[in-house]
Amino acid sequence: MNLVFNKASSVWLVLILATAISWVIGTDSASQLGFGPETARVLILIIAFIKIRLVLMHFMELNNAPRSLKWTGEAWVVLMCSVLIAVTLL
């Protein structure tokens, strides 16, 4: 029972839900939800980088890494997400 109710399983469930949400936003149903194409692209990128952060922190164990490495990982996620959003909107 501990395999089902542990932190890794919870993070995995969030990753699966985020994937499903991205899929819904990326399909034609996004227009039915009121999202334009630019908004849908930005939302999908943000969800993707949230997923990247979850994998870095929980499965690659940056949570337990030295602060400098942890903050480097956090900064990379924010910087890359920002750059890709900027490029997408140009």
* pLDDT one-digit tens code per residue, 5-42: 788 888 999 999 999 999 988 887 667 778 788 888 99
Cα separation, 66 vs 47, in Å, equals: 26
**CA distances from residue 17 to 66, 77, 82, 86 in whole angstroms, order as listed:** 30, 20, 23, 26
Residue 1 tokens, joined:
């029972």
Q: Which of 55, 82, 43, 63 is nearest to 90 (CA)?
A: 82
Q: Who contacts 6 (Cβ-Cβ below 8 Å, separation ≥6)?
A: none
Task: Enumerate the domain spans of the chain.
Answer: 7-89
**CA 65 centroid distance within chain:** 20
What pTM was estimated for this model as a whole? 0.85
Q: Residue 1 pLDDT > 70, yes or no?
A: no
